[in-house]
Amino acid sequence: MHKGTSPDHFFQTDAEKAKRERRAAKAGNKSGNPIALKSKLLAAIPYPADPSSILIAESSGSVRRVNVDTGDTKQVFRGPSAPVTCVAVGGPGNNTLFAGSWDKDVWSWDLASKAPGRKYSGHSDFVKAVVTTKIGGKDCLISGGADKKIMVWDIETGSRLHVLQDQAVSMMAIQDLVIDPVESGADEVILLSASSDPHIRRWRIKLDGFEQIKEVSPDEPGAARHTILEHDTTVYKVIFDNESEEVDLWTSSGDGTAKCLSRLKGFATDDSIHHGDHVRAVAVTDQWIITAGRDEDIKVWDRSSGKLRCTLEGHYDEVTDLIILDRGRRVVSVSIDGTVRTWPLDQAEFDEINKEREDRAKGIQKETPAEPAEGQMTAEEEAELAALMEDDD
């Protein structure tokens, strides 16, 4: 007898059923000009050679290049048989694509030819984050995993240089990694790691060794703290704000907030955005702060006032990443719902979205011009024809 896999064939709570029905009703919307793919989208980065393209980590075990303007999705990097969770580009000439997978490995490909390259094996659980850098002139890959370890690799030889672990405070699964663009130098880099615990850790990494950096306490002058501790739970994302003079740190967390941590104040909280629910991603421009996460919505906040400017609705499952394009004029979102959506970061656009939402709340339906029957002319065409006939007279 055939056994169906539809949720209708299994016990569901009323809440689960309502959630599924809501998502089904929302799935057909065209907000953000969706590009639909066939798997869950877990992370994204800009494609370095094309300002209109991004590289997406897919649950199907591949990395896909998507051009958000043309909709082209044909360039795919294949290899892993398990979901890909994270992507980075680096290596000699910045020509190598790296992807961490649930299969515990980091895969690599030539970015131009898609030819598979070296595989980096050493983690004992899912690889959750990857980043590339140069240390002492050597191209290096840094990976973080659910095994609570950060590993530093020589890209050319594949050899593992270091394994980083917190010896004092238990570090949980790594969620994100970022290189500090201000404090890193030619012979050493400063790495920041975020994990499933609320601690953000900084590491000084050289070719011949590493150390965890002790932090300055923001509350007690002259005192130290072991880590940067500004959130209550999981920190999903850490990014440096190149729009600010000090290049401060922005973070997003499962505690429902995104925060700006001030470099000059020892990475203490300088600003806090209360998005609600788990905030999986944060992105910044010179004018806007953009947050997104489990509640499916993308929220755009005015950078100067901190006030919510607009809520962008369209995704019907968790939003996993945000990418800024066109020097801050657009933001691209990717989601577990399998869609890539592109949103203008424009004041007039926000005003229109907000007005439409207010009208819907009042029961006012947006008027759409009726389509003329086949063979009939629109009012504009009839007026134009009448004017032409008058000219003939």
Against a cut of 0.85, is the pTM above it? yes
Q: Whole-angstrom Cα distance, residue 52 to residue 63? A: 17
H helices of the chain, in order, are: 14-26, 347-361, 379-392
With contact defined as beta carbons under 8 Å apart, do 176 and 236 qualify?
yes
**Cα dihedral: 371, 376, 380, 381 (round 10):** 140
Q: Whole-angstrom Cα distance, residue 218 to residue 235? A: 19
269-297 pLDDT, tens digit each: 999 999 999 999 999 999 999 999 999 99
Is pLDDT above 80 for 331? Answer: yes
Residue type at position 206: K
Residue type at position 125: D
120-152 pLDDT, tens digit each: 999 999 999 999 999 999 999 999 999 999 999
303-324 pLDDT, tens digit each: 999 999 999 999 999 999 999 9
Is pLDDT above 60 for 3? Answer: no
With contact defined as beta carbons under 8 Å apart, do 172 and 195 qualify?
yes
Looking at residues 327-348, what average pLDDT do you find?
97
Q: Whole-angstrom Cα distance, residue 353 to residue 347? A: 10
Is pLDDT above 60 for 390? Answer: no
Looking at residues 350-363, what average pLDDT do you find?
90
What tokens does 348 get? 């007039």
Q: Whole-angstrom Cα distance, residue 254 to residue 86? A: 19
Q: Whole-angstrom Cα distance, residue 321 to residue 335? A: 7
* Partner residues linked to 62 by β-bridges: 78
Query: Looking at 73-77, 149-153, 363-367, which range is the least confident one?
Result: 363-367
| Mean pLDDT of all residues belonging to the chain | 91
Q: Whole-angstrom Cα distance, residue 98 to residue 89? A: 6
**Distance between terminal CA atoms of the chain?**
78
Biggest CA pair distance of the chain? 93
Burial of 256 (0-12, 13-18, 19+ CB in 10 A): buried
Confidence of residue 386 (pLDDT cuts 50, 70, 90): low
Looking at residues 260-266, what average pLDDT do you find?
96
Residue 10 C-alpha from the chain's centroid? 33
Q: Is 18 helix (H, G, I), strand (E, B) or coil?
A: helix
Confidence of residue 11 (pLDDT cuts 50, 70, 90): low
Confidence of residue 389 (pLDDT cuts 50, 70, 90): very low
